[in-house]
């Protein structure tokens, strides 16, 4: 804010005239030059404000650093590769277990046919029954047996 003083020399136009002292720089200005001085100060404030805005943008840009985007892309690609590998492994395991289960089903079906035949013919003895019991026990053990499949 400028304070009014008596007649003195304007620091800008050097005229002996009624002047106003600028509290910031303590110089005396005539009314015209005081207006110009305030305009100059306003422009400086605008420039400082622009510098702050530019610096704020630089900070924002640092948060969105290109390397962070590259790391995010690398992470997503890695996750995709892991998912693809897991899907392949899952499919291989299902293929293996399907073959294994089909083999056990075939053995079970053969034994079931034998059992039905014995019942239909109504001709069986303890030896036949023991063989059928042993067969189902072997099938159970085979099903419970841990597979030789592992994940590496």
20 and 72, same domain (yes or no) = no
Domain that holds residue 106: 65-144
Separation between Cα atoms, residue 51 and residue 35, nearest integer Å: 24
Mean pLDDT (the chain, rounded): 89
Neighbours of 111 (CB within 10 A): 16
The answer to whether 13 and 37 are in contact (CB under 8 A) is: no
Within 10 angstroms of residue 102's Cβ, the number of other Cβ atoms is 10
pLDDT above 60: residue 37: yes
Write the pLDDT tens digit of every residue in 7-27: 899 999 999 999 999 999 999
Please give the average per-residue pLDDT across 94-106, as a whole number.
87
In a domain, 151, yes or no: no
Q: How many domains does the chain have?
A: 2
Tell me the Cα Rg of the chain.
47
DSSP 8-state secondary structure symbol assigned to residue 89? H
């Amino acid at each position: 804010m400028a304070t009014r003083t008596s007649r003195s020399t304007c620091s800008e136009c050097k005229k002996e005239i009624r002047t106003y002292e600028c509290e910031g720089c303590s110089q005396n200005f005539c009314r015209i030059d005081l207006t110009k001085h305030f305009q100059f100060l306003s422009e400086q404030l605008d420039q400082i404000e622009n510098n702050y805005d530019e610096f704020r943008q630089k900070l924002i840009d640092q948060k969105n650093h290109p390397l962070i985007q590259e790391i995010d892309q690398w992470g997503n690609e890695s996750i995709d590769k892991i998912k693809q590998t897991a899907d392949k492994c899952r499919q291989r395991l299902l293929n293996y277990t399907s073959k294994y289960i089909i083999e056990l089903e075939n053995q079970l079906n053969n034994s079931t046919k034998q059992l039905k035949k014995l019942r239909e013919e109504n001709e069986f003895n303890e030896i036949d029954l023991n063989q059928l019991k042993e067969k189902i026990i072997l099938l159970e053990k085979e099903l419970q047996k841990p597979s030789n499949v592992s994940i590496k």
